[in-house]
Amino acid sequence: MPDIKKAEITVDRDSVISDIDERIYGSFIEHFGRAVYGGIYDPGHPSADDLGFRQDVLQFVSELNIPIIRYPGGNFVSGYRWEDGVGDPEDRPVRLDLAWSALETNEIGLNEFMEWLKKAGSDLMLAVNLGTRGAQEAQDLVEYCNFPSGTRLSDLRASHGYPKPHGIKLWCLGNEMDGPWQICAKTAEEYGRLACETAKMMKWMDPDIELVVCGSSGKGMPTYGAWEETVLRHTYEHVDYVSLHTYYGNLDDDTPSFLASTLEMDAFIKEVAGICEKVRQEKGLDKKVYLSFDEWNVWYHYSQTAKQPPKWIKGRPIQEENYNFEDALVVGDMLITLLNNADVVKIACLAQLVNTIAPIITEENGPAWCHTIYYPFLYTSRYGRGKALRPRVTSPVYACAKHNAVPAVSSACVYNADRGEVVYFLVNRSLTDAVPLTCALNGFQPKDVLQWIAMEGYDIKAENTAEDPDAVVPAEKNGAAIADNQIELTLSPKSWNIIRVKIE
């Protein structure tokens, strides 16, 4: 392999991957840990509004401009009775949540969460229980949420203070139904049949909804691939998306391999997209089923601790990650991977949003603040909208325990015609070497570098804390120049970058 000392990225104006579906900037709130109780909802907190929602949390969420939020699970949904969470809160039952060994008071349910979503500026991606429940209960929930009036369940919604339908358009057919940890897990045949009949009833109820069918819980599942094929053969005509879930971690303290995690993510996406295409061709259909990457993040720090909070308490404080700088680099690179697969990935959800494996953290009776991973998501959501362009990247490479040749530079490119700008998202995975970079824009006339923002220069294990919430944050920098329709700059070692270029 040639010894390349610099990197080059070439983008052609007509090399469009796809229009970017803004729903790839979705997130996830599950009744899990302190995500709801002590997270978004804390009526005793000084910042709480009249509904008990923390305003400081809402401010951080709103800045992310999240179009959809998946709810109420996750593993939680496979044992959830949606009726428990509607009506007078004083009459709601307290239940044991078997998924997370916690107490569920049902103070927050569907209608309260809809109120929170309005404040956050997001729409709902609602999951139905296909663990302990089935097609009839799912159809009932669609009726409660979306039917105008004149039936028992639509009139029940009106009696709860919501005469107008919620109009929820995106639904998940259960969660991770192949996982042995799942309440009432199923084989591919069992789930495929149930999902098919559930989808039929839900769409007969409301033909305008979109449905996400469960793919494998992860690429490492023993049934991965065969599960997708079987489930899609049962459901392809009735669903719109198949789900992908993945989390990465650095349990071996092998940072070079950890920073290369997105090579596996990219392969995962392409494999599942290939399975969708295979089933489509088998069935002789024009319709395409796309991908919903509705759980993705870094998740491993909590498993390294010995924390075992008491069971059967409300807001059981589990799986709260202390994210560091290298985690932010991986999250930024995962977003790059989603953009580079915008032709097949139409929905994605950072899992999760508050406290539990989340970018936003709250202190009990104290402030809310942001982990390192908040910032790549913030800027990619803000500027990564428009058309994804296919970058051709030549880069130095490095070897690690898991890969022989990892490109040091990872890149995505977005053209936003409304703003008149091309935006590069860049990660230099090299821990030691700065990389000179030339970005060529064919078919564009770059006028000016509007902004260069970078996260760089930090110790790879550096974290934000309650005492120092701004310890690891991006900063604006100079040094990018335009000459002959090219942008010249140098990427610092171990850095995440966004370059906004004004186009004539």
Catalytic positions, written as ranges: 176, 295
DSSP 21: P
What 3-state class would DSSP assign to 202? helix
CA 186 to CA 179: how far, in whole Å? 8
CA 394 to CA 392: how far, in whole Å? 7
Range 348-382 burial, b when 16+ CB lie within 10 A, else e: bbbbbbbbbbbbbbbeeeeebbbbbbbbbbbbbbe
Among residues 419, 412, 346, the alpha carbon closest in space to that of 380 is found at 412
> Rounded to the nearest 5°, which phi and psi values hold at 114?
-60, -40
Among residues 476, 472, 475, 444, the alpha carbon closest in space to that of 459 is found at 472
Place of tokens 């209960």: 137
CA 211 to CA 231: how far, in whole Å? 13
CA 247 to CA 365: how far, in whole Å? 30
DSSP string, 239-305: -SEEEEEEEE--TT--HHHHTTHHHHHHHHHHHHHHHHHHHHHHHT-S---EEEEEEEEE--TGGGS
H helices of 341-459, in order, are 374-383
CA 441 to CA 9: how far, in whole Å? 9
320, 248 contact by CB (below 8 A): no
Among residues 315, 321, 377, 369, the alpha carbon closest in space to that of 30 is found at 315
Largest CA distance in the chain: 72
